Each structure stands twice: as structure tokens, then as C-alpha cells.
Amino acid sequence: MSKSWGLVDSNLLIYSSDNSSVYQRAARRFLAESPDIQFFLTIQNLTEFYAIVTNPKRVNHSVSQVQAIVALEAFIASGIFHILFPTDHTPARLIELLQNNHVKDSEIHDVHLAAVMKDNRVDTIYTADTAIFTRLGLRAINPL
């Protein structure tokens, strides 16, 4: 049986690492107990994770730079995730998605993720924020 492919959104990484999150157990269980799914991340997911978990205005219990780096290293070394990179076509795909959708302020980050996903033929995202990704033509699943 072949694995299905899906990108893990930054919010699931954050929940899985946040001891104060009511979603921590569900996020960890999903990531640990889904052997039939090939999980992907982008560099953007890693930078968003870092930006949020080190910011006391964004999480109840922010972490130090060292703790955030250790978490990033753990994600990368886990073997659970493969990293997706933009292709030469991704800028054009981004513009196309922007032209065809009403996008406001920080939604641009989600549109960028969608462009990278589409250019790498990954059509499923696991996220707590399904609405925008569904609007962008992706299969968005909330596993929490």
C-alpha cells in the first residue's frame, strides 16, 4: 500500500510542542500514529514555528531561542517529515493564486504554502485552519 501525501501546517507543529495547548495530545498522536501518510514541511513552516513559539505575545508559554532550535532540529531529524522546496514555477503559481482569490494581509503566507504544495503535487494539508486552503483548491483536513 502506498502512502498518501500531506503537508503539516505550522499550527500542528506548534500545538504538538506547546505543553499548555489543549490540542497537544491530539497533535502528537496524529503525527506519531499516521504511518500511512508521508508528511511534508516547508522551510516556511519551520520559520513560522520559530517565530510563534519564541514570541510571548503569540503563545502562553514562549520558549527560548535554544529550545526552539532544539525543536526544529527534532522535527528535521525525526524522519517523519520530508521538506518541500519552491520550484522555478512557484512565483508564477503564487501570482496566479493571488489573482484568482481574495487574499488579505497575512493570508499571503498560506497562499505561498499552497503554491509550493501545488508545484510539488501535494494536494492535502493537515491544519487547524482549513477554510483558506479549501478556498485555494486543496484538500484541507483538521486532524484535531
pLDDT under 50: residue ranges of the chain: none
DSSP string, 79-118: SSEEEE---TTHHHHHHHHHHHS---TTHHHHHHHHHHHH
Q: Which domains does the chain have, with CATH numbers?
A: 4-141 (3.40.50.1010)
**Helices 43-53 and 10-17: angle between axes, nearest 10 degrees:** 40
84 touches 117 (CB < 8 A): yes
DSSP H or E segment with residue 69:
helix 65-77
Cα dihedral across residues 33, 39, 43, 45: positive or negative: negative
- Nearest-5° Cα angle at 14, 22 to 51: 135
d(CA 144, CA 135) in angstroms, rounded, equals 20
At 1 the pLDDT is 60
Average pLDDT of every residue of the chain = 95
Q: What is the pTM of this model?
A: 0.94
Contacts 24+ apart (CB under 8 A), 50-54: 52/10, 52/14, 53/14, 53/17, 53/18
Q: Which pLDDT score is estimated for 60?
A: 85
